Amino acid sequence: MSEGSRSSSPVEELEVKSDRSGSVEPDRPRLGGRKRPRAVDPDEEDEDQNGAGVKEDEEKEEGAAAEDANNADDDEDEDEDEEDEEDEDEDEDEEDEEEGGERQRKRRRKHKKKYRFLDVEAEVDDEDEEEDEADDFGDVAGFIDEVPDEAVSQDDYAHRRLDRATGLNETQDVEAIVRGLKQRHLKSAAAKYNPDSDQIPQRLLMPGVNDPSLWQVRVKPGREQNVCVSIFRKVFALQYSANPIEVISVFYRDSLPGMVFFEARTSASVSQACQGIIDVFVSRGISLVPIEEMAPLLKIKKKDVSLTNGMWVRMRRGKHTGDLAQVVDIEQITNGVAGIKFVPRIDLTPREKKKDRLANGKGAMTGAGSKPPARLFSYDDVKKVYGRGSVRPIPPKGYIFDGDEYIDGYCFKDVKLNLLLTEEVKPTLDEVSRFQGEEGSTANIDLQAIADANKNLNASGLFPGDKVEVYEGEQTGLYGTIETVTPEVIAIRAEGGDIHGQIVDVPARSVRKRFDIGEHVKILAGKNADVSGMVVEVKGDVVTLMSDQGEQEIKAFSKDVRKAADTAGGTAREGLYDVHDMVMLDSATVGVITKIEGALLRILDQNGTVRTASPQQVTLRRENRDFAVAPDSQGNNMRVGDVMKEVDGDYRQGEVLNIFRSLFVFLFNRELTENHGVFVARGSSLIPVTPKAANDLAKMNPALNAQLPFGGASLMPPPAAGPNRSRLINTLVVIVKGTSKGLMGVIKDVVGDSARVELATNNKTLLISMASLKRKDPKTGLSYPLEAAGGGSYGGAVPQRPGGGYDINPYGGAVNPAANGGQTPGGFGGRTPAARFGQTPNPYASGGFGGGKTPNPYAAGGRTPANGAWGAGGKTPAAGAWGAGGKTPGWAGGGGKTPAHGFGDGGKTPGWAGAGGGGKTPNPYGAGMAGGRTPAPAGSMYGESSSSRFGNGPPMSAPTPYGGPTPGMMGAPTPAAPSNPYSAPTPYGAPTPYSAPTPFAAPTPGAALSAPTPGVGLGGPTPFGAPTPYGAPTPYAGASAASGPAAPGSEAVPWDWALDFRNVIVEIGPSVKPSTRSPLHFQRGALDGQVFGYDDIIGESMRCVSISDPSTSEVVPAEYLRPARPTQPGQVVVIIAGDAKGQQRTTSYENDGQWMMEAEAGDMLVLPGESLCRIWKA
């Protein structure tokens, strides 16, 4: 290349670069033949090694790259012809320009080389000196390398120069040297343009104001090259005409589609050049490129896309737009064409359609409108639709259809490169596997294909410390840990093999991350980003992991996976928030994060609704996991971490994650799929899965316990602000003040202090202050104050106060049982407004008989069945239920069915509360009145009293949730109950008056029952618990697992039964004491199963003498003792539970676990074996 052509215009030099190789290059001759002096290479390397002084840094940085480039050049040069070589050189030029520094260096080197052919000694003080000083040996080596035959003269030269240098240094003083250096550098910095030089400083090539301007013209995208060629031709054609086109150059850039640039002095020349050329949009303006943008414009470099076989691309146009394709043929890549393979989208709709389309002049396959689905080519299908003639088989197993070639179902096609999207392809695992075949054949996923899919993996996903495997190249199979990462090359410390411990550089693209099975990893990208789990399988590039959060397997590319800390908690963390954290959604709503999806939090709030929120929308709730406590259905405390179970509904079980306001409990069970295993429940509807000892000491402290108002059940009474709205709804009222005075209506809603009253007269709904309302008894027509009405009807024994109904515990001292008892009949009688009671059937009023097993739906405070019942009130055919005996499953604490036999008039009596564990118990009242299946105690009770007390009127159907369930109240009116077995059981077995066996004959068992306040200290277990005949779950359903004393038939024996008896035979077993802190087994089970005679009592323990070995005696706490059941007829037993407790009988015969006692005084008893204990020394 001549200097002139090179220097004439920087743009000219560049213009061809943009041309694709092989494209037309009209000005090639001007560029001809500058060849890089390759012989210099060794020199270069020496320099790199010995490089000193100022150049050192610069060279180090670039050494590798330069070397690479040179090597590459060399290789290619060998392979390719002359023309290609020229291209190479041009490429190199480009490189030079991009890296100005390097160029400088080369130029300098070339200067130096130049001096080899000049008389160097004549230029002692020239700018070259510093270099000489610095590069002594390099120079020498260069010379030796270059011209070995001149060795002698070189040697001579070197010596002389050395002498001279030393001499100079000696003679000059330091200042002079510095000055000289400065001078020299000044000079070099202001190097002048030397037309004779082969090299021009980059700066001087920069365009200035005096240079021709650059003009940009819009053209049709894709036609840039043709436009350029046309303009070239036009310019050349007119070159020697009268008015030549004053355009110096024209070029386009691949990186800037739709633009062509002209180098010209005036825009007029440009428009002249463009005139008559198609695809040029001169009308869109000829814009001037600012001078400062000219060089950057040319620097913008389209990233070289090197297509390789197996690479994934996407198609850009046509019906396959966006479809994944694989490059299979790159032989014609130089022609801008690549062979690709993809899943075709052949329209298999009927042939007529195709004909229509053909008739319309469209191609068969260019279906406008909808895209046919992508599916593999099937000869049969296509033949069926398009006819045999349309498909031509080509051996061995290909087909030609519609001009395209199909092999193995894939379409193979040569397409232009510009129809392919090669960047940001990012094939997903899904797509790749679909490409590889349908679901069934996932097993044979071509690993290579997937590896290829990740060809684009650069170092971005790699971090020092990652374990990687080299899967291609000469280091294939090498394992190692990444030491350093640069964009293209990573250094890994090899593991194993010959080079163990060495650091090896490998291309970043030829490594993949390696994971061991069992490793705890996290997914960084993709649709499962942020999921962590443990690796269960690694297959090539695909890692299968078992998610920590949900039970699911996830597949991910290994490039998207990172090792996670083993102890990271297995949770994905998004900034502040962690899975299962409790967050505030607003001041009254909290939720627990169930999943973190990228930047979104999925939250389950206290009401059970799922929300999605961004971290900004929520605030982290103060961490209270350590302190949060809530009462469970038994009134025991539960804490975060306890495993609890629902006592109703779905019986879900889970570990407590968090507790909100001691009411809402968030639980987690990984086996639930809903909400990723998180669910919310009321504390009062939960029960521990394992009867767990109350952990907090406060609970065990009797003193503290006594202070707890309601047996600890409601440590935190719910806010009792204002009237209970739901309680008032559907109440029949009369308006006593204001314009509507005298009108009757029904309360439909309560809003603050006002109520919305639906008038009976004209079907209007008015908002009326509650102060102007009075409750109306529909039966009697009497009016009562709105709030006190219920209480009044119950006679002083109101367990319900206005607004305070919730925290009334029937067991609390508030109830005056005696008073209740006395007045109850009245309470139930006609005086009670039906509207008030009709809505809350309380079949369990009878439960009261059982000795304080009254559900107090309000004790729980939160959701109460009453709410529902009230709401449903009017519609509830309470009476019907009673009479017809609708079968209503009641939710007892959890025992199974406990039919108790042989009670009074009852046939089978489902006992309530049996095991307190939460089973279903048929409603004993279903048959109540009918008396067929009479729940003995209750049934008889009702049977007796129904006529007298309940009558048949509506009130009867209206047991109140408030008043009804007080034991005293119920108890009182049953003195006449002939054999009320329920009067006897001691509900809590505690040393209360109850523990004493109460003969059923007690004249007023009710009174007796009502006297104590059994609830206190016992958490108010109500075995008869909440069951409502209508199936509404009640918070109290749980009842106490421990206390089932009311059920004569079951494990009703209190744990401390033994304290009441002497001289019986006992067996040692696990502790039966509920909520005990004692170990489960006495002496760790050493004595379990052994039979002892119970000799004496020592405090709460018994001295027991072994039956088998009378010399052995042990002191055993009562809770480990269980009664020795009768084994055969004729044994003398004592009844330890039930109403006949304390009686001594003799067994007669046994049937199905029930023992018939020998008749005594005209009385025959059948008792379950459980409530019998053999007497030791008869």
Binding part of the chain for other proteins, among 449-457, 661-669, 695-703, 1168-1176 by CB under 8 A, reads 695-703
- Asked if 703 is part of the footprint of other proteins (rule: CB under 8 A), the reply reads yes
Cβ closer to other proteins: 413 or 522?
522
- Asked if 567 is part of the footprint of other proteins (rule: CB under 8 A), the reply reads yes
| End-to-end Cα distance, the chain | 130
d(CA 883, CA 1171): 33
d(CA 1071, CA 1057): 13
Q: Give Cα 1105 to chain centroid, integer Å.
A: 61
Within 569-598, which residues bind other proteins (CB under 8 A)?
Answer: 569-570
Cβ closer to other proteins: 219 or 656?
656
- Asked if 697 is part of the footprint of other proteins (rule: CB under 8 A), the reply reads yes
Cβ closer to other proteins: 152 or 703?
703
- Asked if 29 is part of the footprint of other proteins (rule: CB under 8 A), the reply reads no
- Asked if 715 is part of the footprint of other proteins (rule: CB under 8 A), the reply reads no
Within 532-551, which residues bind other proteins (CB under 8 A)?
Answer: 534-537, 544, 546, 548, 551
CB of 673 to other proteins, least distance (A): 12
Cβ closer to other proteins: 503 or 1115?
1115
Please pick, from the candidates 151, 237, 517, 1159, the single residue that binds other proteins as defined by CB under 8 A: 517
Three-state secondary structure call for residue 783: strand
Cβ closer to other proteins: 490 or 694?
694
Cβ closer to other proteins: 318 or 641?
641
Q: Strand order in 732-735's β-sheet?
A: 765-769, 754-759, 744-751, 732-735, 773-776, 783-785
Binding part of the chain for other proteins, among 313-321, 608-616, 693-701, 741-749 by CB under 8 A, reads 693-701
- The amino acid present at 767, given as its one-letter code, is L
CB of 695 to other proteins, least distance (A): 7
Cβ closer to other proteins: 637 or 1131?
637
CB of 295 to other proteins, least distance (A): 57
CB of 790 to other proteins, least distance (A): 40
Cβ closer to other proteins: 37 or 518?
518
Please pick, from the candidates 438, 488, 553, 1100, the single residue that binds other proteins as defined by CB under 8 A: 553
CB of 1085 to other proteins, least distance (A): 13
Q: Is residue 686 within 8 Å of residue 652, measured between CB atoms? A: no
Within 289-328, which residues bind other proteins (CB under 8 A)?
Answer: none
Cβ closer to other proteins: 532 or 1171?
532
Cβ closer to other proteins: 537 or 674?
537
Please pick, from the candidates 285, 363, 465, 518, the single residue that binds other proteins as defined by CB under 8 A: 518
- Asked if 361 is part of the footprint of other proteins (rule: CB under 8 A), the reply reads no
Q: What is the DSSP string of 742-776?
A: T-EEEEEEEETTEEEEEETTT--EEEEEGGGEEEE
Cβ closer to other proteins: 695 or 992?
695
By CB atoms closer than 10 A (0-12, 13-18, 19+), residue 890 is buried
Please pick, from the candidates 698, 760, 930, 1105, the single residue that binds other proteins as defined by CB under 8 A: 698
Q: Is residue 231 within 8 Å of residue 263, measured between CB atoms? A: no
Q: Which residue carries 């069970």 as its tokens?
A: 669
Site map (CB under 8 A) of other proteins, residues 625-644, x = contact: ----------------x---
CB of 467 to other proteins, least distance (A): 15
Q: And the tokens for 537? A: 């399988």
CB of 521 to other proteins, least distance (A): 10
d(CA 969, CA 789): 17
CB of 991 to other proteins, least distance (A): 19
d(CA 658, CA 646): 16
Cβ closer to other proteins: 174 or 443?
443
- Asked if 169 is part of the footprint of other proteins (rule: CB under 8 A), the reply reads no
Axis crossing angle, helix 136-146 with helix 41-50, rounded to the nearest 10? 160
**Half-sphere exposure for 310 (CA within 13 Å, toward CB):** 11
d(CA 146, CA 43): 9
d(CA 393, CA 387): 13
Please pick, from the candidates 704, 706, 782, 1115, the single residue that binds other proteins as defined by CB under 8 A: 704
Site map (CB under 8 A) of other proteins, residues 1055-1094, x = contact: ----------------------xxx---------------
Cβ closer to other proteins: 699 or 1145?
699
385 backbone dihedrals φ, ψ, rounded to 5° = -85, -45
Cβ closer to other proteins: 695 or 1148?
695
Site map (CB under 8 A) of other proteins, residues 251-270, x = contact: --------------------
Axis crossing angle, helix 100-116 with helix 136-146, rounded to the nearest 10? 60
Query: C-alpha dihedral over 1006, 1012, 1015, 1016, to 10 degrees?
Result: 170
- Asked if 156 is part of the footprint of other proteins (rule: CB under 8 A), the reply reads no
d(CA 597, CA 676): 12
Cβ closer to other proteins: 520 or 908?
520
Q: Residue 289 belongs to what H/E stretch? A: strand 280-289
Q: Is residue 575 within 8 Å of residue 594, measured between CB atoms? A: no
d(CA 229, CA 251): 9
Binding part of the chain for other proteins, among 226-234, 481-489, 496-504, 694-702 by CB under 8 A, reads 694-702
Please pick, from the candidates 169, 332, 442, 552, the single residue that binds other proteins as defined by CB under 8 A: 552
Please enumerate in sequence order all residues whose Cβ is within 8 A of that of 139, keeping only pairs 6 or more positions apart, or say none.
112, 131, 132, 158
- For 998, 1134, 1140, 1145, 1170, the CA distances from 1137, given in Å and listed in that order, are 10, 9, 7, 13, 8
d(CA 131, CA 109): 9
By CB atoms closer than 10 A (0-12, 13-18, 19+), residue 1044 is buried
Strands (E), 487-579: 489-495, 503-507, 511-513, 520-523, 532-539, 542-547, 553-557, 561-563, 573-574, 577-578
CA dihedral for 692, 695, 696, 699, sign (positive or negative) = positive
CB of 537 to other proteins, least distance (A): 4
Cβ closer to other proteins: 171 or 690?
690
Please pick, from the candidates 695, 726, 754, 946, the single residue that binds other proteins as defined by CB under 8 A: 695
Binding part of the chain for other proteins, among 518-526, 678-686, 926-934, 1162-1170 by CB under 8 A, reads 518-526
- Asked if 1106 is part of the footprint of other proteins (rule: CB under 8 A), the reply reads no
- Asked if 8 is part of the footprint of other proteins (rule: CB under 8 A), the reply reads no
d(CA 729, CA 838): 12
Size of the site for other proteins (CB under 8 A): 33
Please pick, from the candidates 139, 469, 519, 1114, the single residue that binds other proteins as defined by CB under 8 A: 519
Q: Is residue 545 within 8 Å of residue 553, measured between CB atoms? A: yes
- Asked if 701 is part of the footprint of other proteins (rule: CB under 8 A), the reply reads yes
Cβ closer to other proteins: 152 or 697?
697
Residues that bind other proteins (CB under 8 A): 516-520, 534-537, 544, 546, 548, 551-553, 566-567, 569-570, 641, 671, 693, 695, 697-698, 700-704, 1077-1079
